[in-house]
Structure 1
Amino acid sequence: MHYEPVETLPLNDRAGVAAALCALLSPLVPMLSPGSARLKLSHTGANSELPAQELEAFSRMLWGLAPLLAGGGTHPIAGRMLDGVRNGTDPAHPEYWGDVTAPCIRSVEMAPLGFALALCPGYFMERLPEPALRNLCAWLGQINTTHLWPNNWLFFRVLVNLGFAAVGRPVAAAKLAEDFRMIDSWYLGDGWYSDGSTRSRDYYVAFALHFYGLIYAALNAKADPARATAFKERAAAYAHDYVYWFGRNGSSFPYGRSLTYRFAVASFWGALAFADVEAMPWGVIKGLWLRSIRWWLRQPVFTETGLLTLGYCYPNLNLPEGYSAPGSPYWAFKAFLPLALPAEHPFWRAEEQPLPKLDDVRPLKHAFMVISRDNASDHVVALAGGQLQLPTAPHMRYGPAKYSKFAYSNAFGFSLPLDRETLVRGAYDSMLAVSEDGMDYHVRGDVRDVNVDNGIHFSRWSPLKDVEVETSLIPAGPWHVRVHRLSTPRALHIAEGGFALGLIDETKCPEATTRTTDERAASIANPKGFSGIVDLHGHGKGELIETIANSNLMEPLCSLPMLTAKLEPGSYVLACAVLGAPGPGDHRATWNHPPSIQMPQSGIKVLDGQGRVVFESA
């Protein structure tokens, strides 16, 4: 089947978005198994059985296909999908999807199937013979008697039972009541949930908890009006914080787990439209949604035949979690939910609008973040730390890198420590790394006593036994300042990183890259942007580290400005200022006027580049 590159398609209206979805569905058709119940997309693996991985790839296409069908569209894969549903739920068929015996990926993949039943019940009831529909409901019904992880997984049972109600099958009302009580217990206020009884408040709040709640609100408002209203009100409140995660160009900062789901981050905006929640003007919501999808479809995230790959801004097997299978990226199809809405809906009729006016600094207390926005460069930085709880779940990788860096950027992303040995392999951007031997480095992981009062992110942490650190992260215009009070009973090597900047091909244009290092600073500039770090107190010399390939989420080859020093046993105040600016331009004026620090007899005072006090402590 012909593959049409999606980056060439205009995404301006309903027809354009439908065309983009169809272009993404078409490469899946030749990958279907003979019985159409499985999709084998590559030879990489995950921590689940192979049949379950191939079910995952099959079921996740329904997040996009079901809205397309519900909205009156069609695609050649739809007929094969029905064959797959019939065969995958038939215990006598060789491609049977298997029984659920414990919390596993099969329970996850029941959600898009239940969603599809709920969204377009007539489509399935008219095309599946009664024995096949019975088999489908029997297979899905296993979710009502199996244990689910006490987090967003509880919504999978909710979606399956929505599907049952839509096709006239009994629902597990008592079980759902129990699930809803637990989901409500995770609600923190101001639109925010934790994902279970944890400190996790990452993108799962948007593309899981609110997304499913809004589907429920849209499809079950008559039967459960009070809960539908609550889900809508919570989502409307959350929207006014979530908007701060996005830049004008549609990008958002990578943070947390499951980042290979990519444009699933846009699904929350589409779900607001689906549930008729005008949390902001429709044109603003539409713009947020469209720009996010456009930004992602411009990234090199596809194979030569048009399949989505594992990774973030490029194919990268270092990023995914242990549960990420070849079909996992198709969770991104959640973004296509508005295709279920008719063309007359005010969401589709609205003119796309830019971001509303946003504060330069926005504390998000429930997420343990302070969002800093430089409007001139469209750089969004989350000063963060506090969500990670160690030990992490068994199949999640690089927890400290995904949750405990000091800063997360929509322009520079973040890097993964492919090895703790040496700064090159550790790629410690936006971190203070400490080592006893100069080889094996340790960073901030679990965080104590975190707060974001007055727009300053404060935390206590310990990278090594008996090494104690108090860190304040302070927005200062396009810069941010980090102040650490560190005490150590033994000598340490320390290294603190700024943002990792993607490298260009210098064989073609060597003069386009400028590198500078001295006794107190390091910086690099090229057409992709500018990154620099300057010592304000106590660090030592500047260095540029070319980190190991494919450690950064957004660029495969990077240079990382760092400050390094060796500390003897004692107590220290370490302070630095970090500047990142995406894109070409002359940033010397800003770089030449960094923030500064004053240390009178008691306390610390931080001033921005114009001499204004931005932080003062006793």
Structure 2
Amino acid sequence: MTDHIASTRTGAGAPGAGPANAGASGPEARAWLAGYADKLLAAVRPYASPSGSLITLPGTPGGYGTAVDGLEGFARTFLLAGFRLAGEDGADPTGLAERYAAGLAAGTDPTHPERWTRPEEHGQAKVEAASLALILDLTRPWIWDRMEPSAQEHVIGYLGSVVGDDAYPDNNWVWFRIVVETFLRSVGGPFSADDVARDLAAHDRFRRPGGWFADGPERSFDHYAGWALHLYPALWARMSGAAEVAAAAGDDLAVRSASDREHLARYLDDALALVGADGSPLLQGRSLTYRFAAAAPFWAGAVAGVGRPGQLREAATRIVRHFADHDVPGDDGLLTLGWHHPWRPIAQRYSGTGSPYWASKGLLGLALPASHEVWTAAPEPLPVDVGDVLTVAEAPGWAISATRDDGIVRVINHGTDHALPGADGGDSPLYARLGYSTATSPLLDADAWRSPLDQSVVLLNEAAEATHRTGFTPVPVECGIFAPQDPSDRANTQHSTGAVGLGSVASVHWVRADPGAPDHGSGRPGVATAAGRVTTVSIVRGAWEVRLVRVADGADPRATALRIGGWAAGPGLDSALVPLAGDIAPVSGATTADDVTPLAGPTTTPWLRYAPVPDGWTAVAVHLGRTAAGDPADPTAPAAAPQLDLTADQALVTWPDGERTTAELPTADLP
């Protein structure tokens, strides 16, 4: 079981659970995914260079230039081609092996006019080298073993440049060198045991409770935990010679793999809970344009032999189908920078026209033969199909709440900001917001990076500039049963443990951001001005969050108001804020804007503004759900909201269904 702070799951995939909302049979799912993959591969063929080494897709070049774009287009579609070859035991009716072998030979030949950018020339080539190595190992009988010796030498020379290179970021990139050097050693190429030992040690430093990984030393929790830091260990353990590489690095592969499988199994408990009923992944974190790469950890579970295969297949397949149902890819068959449709602002600086094809990882299951248990097991429902899900993932500091009625998964965030504790940079909308979901996107326009609005608690100055909370400190919040002092008071005996609480204290700050800083997904650096300390507590149950806010004495006198923002919701969604407690009556409003998220339609964000900055606790109820047919979705007052009784150190919440929860409130502004 995952090391949750608290957990309430109603029938979340218990053994014997019925197949509510479960999808197609294994053979049907595999056939559909294979057809989808083959169309993706066919669509990129017209964009290959004469030698086949570069696949340069249309669109504005990425931040690293056209040469890197072409390399990515090759390497990332090579992943998908390799999965198809491996899963069919080399059967190759469309000539994938021959085409990609030719591209490998040309791309790694330093004298060829269509040669690739090399790892020592640009860091992004180190990422793509890992895909080349993984698939050369996976398809060894059909590609590597059939290459001319001179071509093999060129491949070894190209990949071998990573050996001893210390310019690898301290994050998921460590795995790119591990898999490259493992392949190199298996074919007689250069190899450094010291490199692998350092990289495995770094990977171990990224481990966090409950099966999670941080993508580096910062509080960087996102899809990279699954599609990189869990995926690569599962694949590496099956590479030729991996045990010998581990031993040379002073490690025991069997022991490490057992630990990795256990860690993955715990992670999958949370990962399954984060998939919406419609198959949407959580819209949180960088590199969202990789789309259904979010299915990769479920296939990793199948590869590693952990989890229930029918449920893993259902999760992975439903994620891919979610995008197919939203016309991904488009009419031209190409994956673009976007989500449901092309939307360039979703890109980071490193994103180019070939980047979206890391989505290939979400089709890894095709590398497993039709006889594998992931394809033969009966389909099983996802947790959200069976009942409401309410749990806390300790490492990222997320309260996860999924509701069966509308199929939405919500995350209330008090632990993730893609920064170190005490940092004073700007908030990243992708990481530092108080909430994320499978039905909404954070606002991602330029204003959202400068001045947080959605899912935020901010202080405003006279220019209406909002503070940032990056660098905050999580604080514990204990939720429990409401128990009246008089046991005979039967009118007040309703109670519930079905709620969870999280909190954080932020030294909030205004930021004059550096407009020239590269965008890698984290908040913008700049000159910070302290504004005060703000404590925020979230009590979560179902579609509701009761949010309590207290501004410490001594806030900067330039802080003229407190503003609380709700969910940024598109058409068909109800996003609401309801005042519950406070000394000041707020001004309420809602901001509507077009083209500010990768989702279709205008986005409306409700907010409440309190001026002057209130003393003591201020509390609001925050709601996200689907709009009933014909309901205009009043953004300020849904039909029923929680009620709150508040003392100096305790909150008593009465939920719309009459259930009650108590929460102990922090008594100090900083722990």
Q: TM-score, normalised by structure 2?
A: 0.80
- Residue 318 (1) aligns with residue 376 (2): no
Following TM superposition, by how much is the alpha carbon of 1:258 offset from its aligned partner in structure 2, in angstroms?
Answer: 1.1
The structure 2 residue matched to 1:304, chosen from 331, 334, 337, is 331
* Residues 486 and 290 (structure 1), Cα distance of their counterparts in 2 relative to 1, 3 Å cut: same
- CA distance in structure 1 between the aligned counterparts of 2:507 and 2:280, rounded to whole angstroms: 33
| Structure 1 residues 122-158: Cα deviation after superposition (integer angstroms, max 9, x where no partner) | 1223432110011011101111122211211111112
Higher relative contact order (CA 8 A, sep 6+): 2
Partner of 1:257: 286
What amino acid maps onto 1:349 in structure 2?
T
For residue 417 of structure 1, report the CA deviation from its aligned partner. 4.2
Pairing 1:19-58 to 2, within 5 Å after superposition: 19-58=35-74
SS in 1 for 2:235: helix
- Distance (Å, rounded) in 1 between the aligned partners of 2:647 and 2:53: 70
Out of 152, 157, 166, the position equivalent to 1:133 is 152
SS in 1 for 2:589: strand
Q: CA deviation at 1:438?
A: 4.3
Whether 2:537 is the aligned partner of 1:472: answer yes
Q: Aligned to 2:161, what secondary structure does the other structure show?
A: helix
CA distance in 1, matches of 2:590, 2:211: 42
How many Å apart are 1:301 and its aligned residue? 4.1
Amino acid at match of 1:470: T
Give the whole-Å Cα distance in 1 for the aligned partners of 2:472 and 2:387. 29
Matched, 1:267 2:332: no
Distance of aligned partners of 1:452 and 1:106 in 2 relative to their CA distance in 1, 3 Å threshold: farther
Letter in 2 for 1:479: W
**1:328-360 deviation line (CA, Å, top 9, x unaligned):** 111110111121212111111112211145663
Q: Provide the residue aligned with 2:379 in structure 1.
A: 352
Give the stretch that moved more between structures: 436-445 or 148-157. Answer: 436-445
Give the superposition deviation at 1:584: 4.0
Is the contact between residue 11 and residue 20 of structure 1 (CA under 8 Å) also seen in structure 2?
no
**Is residue 550 of structure 2 the alignment partner of residue 534 of structure 1?**
no
**2:179 & 2:312 partners in 1: Cα distance?**
25
Number of the residue aligned with 2:267? 238
Equivalent residues of 1:420, 1:441 under 8 A apart: no
Q: Secondary structure at the match of 1:265?
A: helix
Written as runs of structure 1 = structure 2, the 5 A alignment for 1:99-138 is 99-101=118-120, 104-138=123-157
2:218–2:419 Cα contact (<8 Å) kept: no
Offset of residue 582 of structure 1: 2.6
In the aligned structure 1, how far is the partner of 2:114 from the partner of 2:649?
A: 71
1:282-330 superposed Cα distances (whole Å, 9 cap, x missing partner): 1111111111111122224434311111122322122211111111111
Instruction: Check whether the contact 1:450–1:460 (CA below 8 A) recurs between aligned residues.
Output: yes
Q: Distance in 1 between matches of 2:451 and 2:334?
A: 31
Question: Secondary structure of the residue that 2:608 maps to in structure 1?
Answer: strand
Query: Pairwise mapping of residues 50-89 of structure 1 onto structure 2 (< 5 A)?
Result: 50-72=66-88, 73-74=91-92, 75-89=94-108
Is 1:368 paired with 2:436? Answer: no
Is contact 1:498-1:532 (8 Å) kept?
Answer: yes
* More displaced 10-residue stretch of structure 1: 128-137 or 460-469: 460-469
Distance in 1 of aligned mates of 2:649 and 2:277: 42
Match of 1:574 in 2: 618
Among 453, 457, 470, which residue is 1:428 paired with?
453
CA distance in structure 2 between the partners assigned to 1:566 and 1:301 by the alignment? 46
CA distance in 1 between partners of 2:647 and 2:461 (Å): 31
| Equivalent AA in structure 2 for residue 365 of structure 1 | E
2:129–2:159 contact (8 Å) kept in structure 1: yes
> Which one of the candidate residues 560, 563, 572 is aligned to 2:605?
560
Q: How far 1:13 moved relative to its partner?
A: 2.6
Distance 1:451 1:308, change over 3 A: farther
Identify which of 494, 500, 506 aligns with 1:461: 506
Residue 33 and residue 552 in structure 1: after superposition, are their counterparts in 2 closer, same or farther (change >3 A)?
same
Moved more, 555-564 or 242-251: 555-564
Which residue number in structure 2 is paired with residue 400 of structure 1? 428
CA distances 1:45-81 after superposition (whole Å, capped 9, x unpaired) = 3332431222112111122111111122433454332
Alignment of 1:487-498 (within 5 A): 487=552, 488-490=555-557, 491-498=559-566
* C-alpha distance in 1 between matches for 2:630 and 2:124: 50
For 2:402, what is the secondary structure of its paired residue? strand
Asked if the contact 1:21/1:336 (under 8 Å) is kept, the reply is yes
Write the distance in 1 (CA, Å) between the matches of 2:258 and 2:59: 45
| Aligned residues with identical type, % of pairs | 28
2:643 to 585, 588, 596: 596
The 2-side partners of 1:71 and 1:128 are apart by 21
Structure 2 residue aligned with 1:91: 110
1:369 shift after superposition: 0.7
How far 1:248 sits from its partner (Å)?
A: 2.4
* 1:383 maps onto 2:402 in alignment: no
Cα 1:594–1:188 shift into 2, 3 Å: same
Checking the alignment, whether the CA contact within 8 Å between 2:67 and 2:116 is kept in structure 1 is: yes
Name the counterpart of 2:527.
none
Q: Higher mean Cα deviation, 128-137 or 347-356?
A: 347-356
Q: 1:338, 1:361 → 2: CA distance?
A: 29
* Cα distance between partner residues in 2 of 1:211 and 1:452: 33
Cα distance between partner residues in 2 of 1:273 and 1:188:
22
Question: 5+ unaligned residues in a row in structure 1: which ranges?
Answer: 1-9, 504-527
Assess, with a 3 A threshold, how the Cα gap between structure 1 residues 18 and 405 changes in structure 2: closer, same or farther.
Answer: same
1:575 maps to amino acid: A
Counterpart pick for 1:193 among 213, 224, 247: 213
What TM-score results when the alignment is normalised by the length of structure 1? 0.87
Superposed CA offset, 1:366-400 (max 9, x none): 111110121211121100033224489xxxx9852
Query: What SS class does the counterpart of residue 597 from structure 2 fall into?
Result: coil
**In the alignment, which residue of structure 2 is the partner of 1:7?**
none
Q: Counterparts of 2:624 and 2:474 in 1: how far apart (Å)?
A: 28
CA displacement at 1:237 relative to structure 2: 1.9
Q: Given the alignment of the two structures, is residue 152 of structure 1 paired with residue 220 of structure 2, yes or no?
A: no
In 1, Cα distance between equivalents of 2:536 and 2:546: 10
Counterpart mapping for 1:166-181 below 5 A: 166-169=186-189, 171-181=191-201
Q: Deviations over 1:393-443 (max 9, x none)?
A: xxxx9852111111111112221242269xxx9572211243212432233
How far apart in 1 are the matches of 2:339 and 2:37?
A: 19
Q: Does 2:551 align with 1:486?
A: yes
Which segment is superposed worse, 488-497 or 308-317?
488-497
Amino acid at match of 1:405: R
Aligned length: 574
Contact 1:427 1:551 in 2 (8 A): no
Counterpart residue number, 1:293: 320
- Superposed displacement of residue 194, structure 1: 1.8
